[in-house]
Amino acid sequence: MVETQTKILVADDDDMVRTTVSKILEMFGHAVTSVSDGEFVADILDDSFDVVLLDINMPGMDGFETIKAMKGLEREIPVIFLTGAGSMDYVVKAINLGAYDFLTKPIEDIEIFNVKIRRAIEKRMFVRRDKRYKMQLEEDVRLKTRELEKTNKLLMTYSHSLENATVQLMSSLQNAMEEKDFYTAGHTIRVTEYAVLLGLAMQIPENDLVIIRRAAQFHDIGKLVIDLSCIQKPGKLNDEEWKLIRKHPEVGANIIKPLGFMEKEYFIVRHHHERMDGKGYPDGLGSDDLDTLTKILIVVDSYDAMTSRRNYRRNMTMEEAVAELKRCSGSQFDPDCVDAFAEAIIDFNATSDAFSQEYLENFKLVGRVETK
């Protein structure tokens, strides 16, 4: 670092003192600026000065007022008071006001004078270094924080795209599985639409709409690993076949379990065949154990099963299915979900044009890709 010349400001109303002190300081290699009154100090003082020498008695602004004004500017420049003989009582006041040191005038011992000036300069250098260090530290922290934020953002984007890719892939598999079976084709898409419709009707938060949509998309994914031949066969399923098919919620939940970002969806998928009276499967959970999102899926999944064509029975009309939901409200289904869904599905079918626009907008909000 290049050593720059130290700058000292001298304020004294006595021409002789000002000139003498300035000369001595210049002799020791310092650059000196001198003023005849304290009121000029505030005007010219800036951070480039290293030490201020202040006389106490000056006609305009005395030394005490001047040091107070300097502190107001948050200057961290050491101030040395120049006190005349017999004015030692000022010293205490000067020190209390934050003066760094004091010198008696006339200056009799140049060596002592020089030592005091050097000490003040060292103090100033220490303050400067400390300030620089703190500023550098703050800047480093700012830079590191910015870098971390950037990395975090990248990681978040990366993680989101991974999540999306996973969801897309699983969704494609799920749809492909369904398309193989004429009777279940479109089931997942319809259930997902109904789930969002009911979610909107029940005014669940937007985050929950994302969750219920995903859970609906994957609720039957367990059927991917179950032999479909028994589902596709004409006629009713026998006990063995039912036993097998009743495993799909558990199997499906286990498929999505390793995906940490689908923790809530895991619960919904596992329990989408539970009943409010605890007689469902796989765990026999009851109304108190199930959350609203799971209750929503239970209703809309059953509604679609009733209204879509199965290989062993004809499909119900909307009115018949709604009546069936109401008949089983409280035992199989959550009453609030049934009431809200009955109203929403009737409205939806009656005013599908006007209603569907708003519905589809909301559907897009939660990430729906295909339309009906």
Which amino acid belongs to residue 255? I
Q: Which two tokens stand for residue 151?
A: 């990395």
Q: Give me the least distance between CB of 223 and Fe ion, in Å please.
A: 7
Minimal CB distance residue for Fe ion: 220
Nearer residue to Fe ion within complex by CB, 35 or 290: 290
Do 318 and 309 meet the contact criterion of CB atoms below 8 Å apart?
A: no
Q: At closest approach, how far in Å is the CB of 138 from Fe ion?
A: 58
* Closer residue to Fe ion, CB minimum distance, 41 or 216: 216
- CB nearer to Fe ion: give 220 or 304: 220
Tell me: does residue 220 bind Fe ion (CB under 5 A). Answer: yes
Question: What's the chain's Rg over C-alpha atoms?
Answer: 42
CB of 247 to Fe ion, least distance (A): 11
**Phi, psi torsion values for 294, nearest 5 degrees:** -65, -40
Query: How many chain residues are in contact with Fe ion, going by CB under 5 A?
Result: 1
Residue 277 · residue 316 · CB < 8 Å? no
From residue 128 to residue 167, the character string flagging contacts with Fe ion as x (rule: CB under 5 A) and all else as - is ----------------------------------------
Q: Which stretch binds Fe ion (CB under 5 A): 33-41, 109-117, 187-195, 215-223?
A: 215-223
Smallest separation, CB 154 to Fe ion (Å): 38
User: What is the smallest separation between the CB atom of 220 and Fe ion, expressed in angstroms?
Assistant: 5
Contact range with Fe ion by CB under 5 A, out of 32-40, 218-226, 287-295, 316-324: 218-226
SS3 of residue 103 by DSSP:
strand
Stretch that binds Fe ion, among 172-180, 216-224, 236-244, 322-330 (CB under 5 A): 216-224
**Helical packing angle, 89-96 and 63-72, nearest 10°:** 10
Six-digit token pair at 296?
Answer: 């929503």
Distance CA 38, CA 61 (A): 5
Residue (18 or 272) nearer to Fe ion, CB: 272
Residues 50-79 that bind Fe ion (CB under 5 A): none
Which tokens in the block code for residue 243?
């036993």
Smallest gap from residue 219 Cβ to Fe ion (A): 6
For residue 290, give both structure tokens. Answer: 């199930």
Identify the CA nearest to 372 among candidates 191, 218, 173, 230. 191
Give the interface segment with Fe ion, choosing from 160-168, 219-227, 236-244, 276-284 (CB under 5 A).
219-227
- For Fe ion, give the closer residue by CB, 220 or 324: 220
d(CA 13, CA 34): 10
Please say whether the beta carbons of 93 and 72 come within 8 A.
no
Q: Could you tell me the two tokens for 114?
A: 């020089």
**Shortest Å distance, C-beta 141 to Fe ion:** 53
Interface positions, 238-267, toward Fe ion (CB under 5 A): none
Strand partners, 233: none
Q: Residue type at 136?
A: Q
Q: Output 149 or 227, the one with its CB closest to Fe ion.
A: 227
Q: How far apart are the first and last CA of the chain?
A: 73
Spatial contact of 83 and 108, defined as CB atoms under 8 Å apart: no
Pick 67 or 245: Cβ nearer Fe ion? 245
Residue 137 C-beta: closest distance to Fe ion, Å: 59
Dist. CA 337–CA 35, nearest whole Å: 86
CB of 214 to Fe ion, least distance (A): 15
State the residues that interact with Fe ion by CB under 5 A: 220
